[in-house]
Structure 1
Amino acid sequence: MALIKSVRGHLPQFGKGCWMADNASLIGDIICGDNCTFWFQSVVRGDVAAIRIGDEVNIQDGVIIHGTFEKADTTIGDQVSIGHRAIVHGCTIGSRVLIGMGAIVMDHALIQDQVIVGAGSLVLENSVLESGFVYAGSPVRKIKAIDPKQFEFFVTRTARNYQMYASWFE
């Protein structure tokens, strides 16, 4: 069973249809929408700052989501896929976004709707990633406009598939 822990009077809240791996850790001030999945060894730590997660978000294996005390909450939109071992810290991520494996998103970064962030990328503090583009690198830079077919495959399909994968563990 996942570790779900209250901190400073805040117990994580989850919408309907959410799934959590046995060793996921969900702590503190977290409010999550419907049909989200939290995979093995993921840590969502709302101990020092609030974390708000939309619907149909998948937090893949080894992901860390956190914020900065009295500085930066974390907000994640709908249909977001956060790839294995990514770090999302005190930032805002819009809807229909893919954060690639091992990417790092720093405090006060704003990732608008419909963005792909490549694996291993570094999104620096206060960066703004404009809707409709693929970003990659360390630090990230705009690589190209998103191809609609690529977007459907990588973003929409991934968000749906992780709900299916979770059903295999029930």
Structure 2
Amino acid sequence: MTTPNAHRPGVTIIPVHGKSPRIHDSAFIAPGCRIIGDVEIGADASIWYNCVLRADVSRIVIGQRSNIQDGSVVHCDPARPGDEEGSPCIIGDDVLVGHLAMVHGCIIEDRGFMGLGAIAMNKARIGSDAMLAAGAMLTEGKIMEPRSLWGGRPARFMRELNDAAIAGMRMGVAHYAENARHHGAAVNAAGLGAGEG
């Protein structure tokens, strides 16, 4: 069940322009997070400590079991003349977004990976089972094909990912989904009340 503007002490949830965050009851939202506007967060997703998701000018979607790790910022861009769709930020299912990432108006397909401190800009796309390396900057409109590894500033194709790398990313998703349950219980036990549901 997704609860509009659910009360989660320790988390700032703000409607803006008539749009309220919609957070699945099973999602873990850590204390210190700011969830603003037209944000949708799917089942068993996890948004970690001190993240900001600000959907004041377009929308943000976080898919099932995806995680946005500590200190990351997710934003979007509005429609403009010649760009009626604007740049919403759409993150698929089973996605890993590393600590301190800057995710702006881009698309991350199912099972994509964005490394620590990486930046993805408007209309860029991280393909399914693809990895944007730590510290990389994927510039506006760049498309990463599925199962590819890109790195550098600006990011460029480096190589195809092998099956072992793909399996490692899937293990990471499972780890974060499980760890979120433990953190939800710990937050509740600490009396902060910002855990699961």
Identify whether the pair has TM-score above 0.5, normalized to the shorter chain.
Answer: yes
Letter aligned with residue 49 of structure 1: S
Correspondence list, 1:68-107, <5 A: 68-70=77-79, 71-107=86-122
- Where do 1:1-170 residues align within 5 Å? 1-70=10-79, 71-153=86-168, 155-169=169-183, 170=185
Tell me if structure 1 keeps the 8 A contact 2:97–2:113.
Answer: yes
Instruction: Give the letter aligned to residue 137 of structure 1.
Output: G
Structure 1 counterpart SS, 2:26: coil
**Partner of 2:166: helix, strand, or coil?**
helix
Structure 1 runs of 4+ aligned residues shifted over 3 Å read none
Report 1 or 2 for greater relative contact order, CA contacts < 8 Å, sequence distance ≥ 6: 2
Query: 1: distance between equivalents of 2:35 and 2:173?
Result: 20
- What's the CA shift for 1:5? 1.1
In the TM superposition, residue 16 of structure 1 has moved relative to its aligned partner by 3.7
Q: How many residues align?
A: 169
**Any stretches of 5+ residues in structure 2 without a counterpart?**
1-9, 80-85, 186-197
The alignment partner of 2:179 has SS state of helix
Letter in 2 for 1:168: H
SS in 2 for 1:165: helix
Structure 1 segments unaligned to the other structure (5+ residues): none
C-alpha displacement of 1:112: 1.6
Cα distance in structure 2, aligned partners of 1:3 and 1:158: 27
